Amino acid sequence: MTIQRQNLGISPIVLVSGCSSGIGLCVVHGLREQGWRVFATARKESDVINLAEQGFESLRLDVSDSSSIAECVAEVLSRTDGRIDALFNNAGFGVPGAVEDLSREAMRNQFETNVFGAIELSNAVLPTMRQQGYGTLLFNSSVLGFAAMPYRGAYNASKFALEGFVDTLRQELCGSQIHACLIEPGPIESCFRSNAAQQFLRWIQLEHSFHAKSYALMQQRLAVVGAAAPFTLPALAVLKVVVAALEAKRPKPRYRVTTPTKIFWYLKRILPTRCLDWILLTASGDEPGASYGRKRK
């Protein structure tokens, strides 16, 4: 689709959510260089202005707000004569904290963006893709969409849920030329940790928590500038698979990015659950794996 349109002198059109920094910002720059007409979006007006100053067609989009989704998609379609070739659902964040410390409001806040927003935005562009007979829907998931780690319960659950939706959507699109694909990054250089630290302070009451000691370790990790985990890759690694998915005649259902994602995908299929739990506890950096199964004093 991409190569054919470029050969005809027609730029393919992509809408990307969450472009203020990190993966989203890298992807919109990369796709523009590849010849795409990019609609770059962000939740904050200041970030929308910043994107416009970088030469993008930029729009405000808050995926936790149904009105914002409808207005953004309508504006894109009005500028493109009703055409959209691809959507990259990238907007997302993490709410750290032990499951027993998560309020219903905190969990709802997590799901509004990571799950409900991505699905509603996809549903908003699907009628256009159905009418034109083709399209690609990309969803930025995570290694934590299939391999859970402690103190990431809300984020784990949101990505597990997203993957369930996308697997179902892919089946329902069978026989069409519309493709739904999951991108599953492991550690990527971005503002994710600093944003997660803010979410932690907003939602978790740590003073009387049973997990206070582990939270101290977690906060140290979130405060690290640069690569806090082994095998961390730049956002260009995600751009590479986004381009591969968009240019493929038949995209893969899943694109795994970084060594940890590929390893845990394999281990999940061969190891007993408790053995995998121990490895994930150790890899998390927040809870000493050696203490797994022991009671705290």
pLDDT at 74 over 90: yes
Task: Give the chain's domain count.
Answer: 1
On whether residue 295 sits in a domain, the answer given is no
Helix/strand/coil for 153 = helix
Q: What per-residue confidence (pLDDT) applies to 10?
A: 85
For residue 296, being part of any structural domain is answered with no
Whether 33 is covered by a domain: the verdict is yes
Task: Pick the range with the lowest mean pLDDT from 17-26, 163-172, 282-291.
Answer: 282-291
End-to-end CA distance of the chain: 60
Question: Residue 207 — pLDDT band, cuts 50, 70, 90?
Answer: confident
Query: Does the structure show a pLDDT above 60 at 234?
Result: yes
Q: How confident is the model at residue 9 (pLDDT cuts 50, 70, 90)?
A: low
Tell me the β-bridge partners of 182: 139, 254
pLDDT of 208 reads 84
pLDDT at residue 24 is higher than 60: yes
Q: pLDDT grade, residue 4 (50/70/90)?
A: very low
Is 28 a member of any domain?
Answer: yes
Residue 297 placed within a domain: no
pLDDT at 79: 98
Q: What is the DSSP string of 173-212?
A: TTTSSEEEEEEEE-SBSSSHHHHHHHHHHHH---TT-TTH
Model pLDDT, residue 39? 98
- Mean pLDDT, all residues of the chain: 91
295: helix, strand or coil: coil
**In Å, what is the CA distance from 141 to each residue of 78, 144, 147, 200?**
29, 8, 12, 20
Own/partner pairs for 141-144, CB < 8 Å, 24+ apart? 141/166, 141/182, 141/183, 141/184, 141/185, 142/184, 142/185, 142/186, 143/184, 143/185, 143/186, 143/256, 143/258, 143/260, 143/261, 143/264, 143/265
CATH number of the CATH domain containing 108:
3.40.50.720
What span, in angstroms and rounded, lies between the C-alpha atoms of 69 and 75?
10
Q: Averaged over 275-282, what is the pLDDT?
A: 93
pLDDT of residue 206: 84
Residues with Cβ within 8 Å of 169's Cβ and at least 6 positions away in sequence, in order, are 122, 137, 180
Residue 291 pLDDT exceeds 50? no
- Residue 110 falls within a domain, yes or no? yes
pTM for the structure as a whole: 0.91
Active site residues per annotation: 155
Write out pLDDT tens, residues 146-199: 999 999 999 999 999 999 999 999 999 999 999 999 999 999 998 888 899 999
Q: Which helix (H) or strand (E) holds 164?
A: helix 153-172
pLDDT tens for 211-227 read: 988 888 888 888 876 65
Least confident among 52-61, 158-167, 224-233: 224-233
Whether residue 89 lies inside any domain: the answer is yes
Q: Count helices and strands (H / E) in the chain.
A: 12, 7
Average pLDDT over residues 252-268: 96
Report the alpha-carbon distance of residue 83 to residue 77 in Å, rounded.
6
**Is 219 among the domain residues?**
yes
Nearby residues of 100 by Cβ (< 8 Å), 6 or more positions away: 210, 211
Return d(Cα 199, Cα 214) in angstroms, integer.
17
pLDDT at 227: 59
What is the extent of the structural domain holding 20?
A: 2-289
